[in-house]
Amino acid sequence: MSLNKKPQTDIALVDNVFVKLHHFLSVGDTHQGHVHTFDHITLLASGKVLMKHDNGEQEYTAPKLIVTPKGIKHQFTALAPDTVFCCVHAVRDGDGVDDIADPSLTPEQHWELLTKYSLTVEDPIDPSEQP
């Protein structure tokens, strides 16, 4: 069993959609918890996770779409090796709640918007992950 290693990650930003892929290699690998200022979808593509959140915890097995309401802190722990999930949401403008960024923005402008506000509580965007 892993000692709570962080997942390997990859980020893509295309046509106003942000996707962050998380790949857990081992059982017990843990994604550091975070909270969004908007509703979002997590796509569990493979494996199994334990999702701990403000209202308790729940196990999910792939394939699964998990909708998390805004303001709910959530954390994922792998319950199976080679687990993959993606955080998916629109790129936001303004305060990050209801405004959708102009789709004509360049990737650089999208990243500027993403760094305007904290996407997550404990896991802010790392500029080195910029495509």
Domains of the chain, earliest start first: 8-117 (2.60.120.10)
CA distance 72 to 24: 22
CA distance 113 to 38: 15
Cβ within 8 Å of residue 31, ≥6 positions away: 6, 7, 22, 24, 75, 76, 77, 123
Q: Which of 12-21, 42-51, 89-98, 116-125 has the lowest mean pLDDT?
A: 116-125
Grade residue 57 by pLDDT with cuts at 50, 70 and 90: very high
- Per-residue confidence (pLDDT) for residue 30, from 0 to 100: 93
CA distance 76 to 106: 31
Share of the chain above pLDDT 70, in %: 71
Grade residue 86 by pLDDT with cuts at 50, 70 and 90: very high
Grade residue 115 by pLDDT with cuts at 50, 70 and 90: low
If one counts every other C-beta atom within 10 angstroms of the C-beta of residue 129, the result is: 11
Q: Does 94 have pLDDT greater than 50?
A: yes
> Which amino acid is present at 88?
V
- Per-residue confidence (pLDDT) for residue 106, from 0 to 100: 75
Q: Which of 15-29, 43-57, 107-121 has the lowest mean pLDDT?
A: 107-121
**HEC per residue, the chain:** CCCCCCCEEEEEEECCEEEEEEEECCCCCEEEEECCCCCEEEEEEECEEEEEECCEEEEEECCEEEEECCCCCEEEEECCCCEEEEEEEECECCCCCCCECCCCCCHHHHHHHHHHCCCCCCCCCCHHHCC
| Largest distance between two CA atoms of the chain | 45
Decide which of 88 and 98 is more confident: 88
Q: Does 97 have pLDDT greater than 70?
A: no
- Per-residue confidence (pLDDT) for residue 40, from 0 to 100: 83
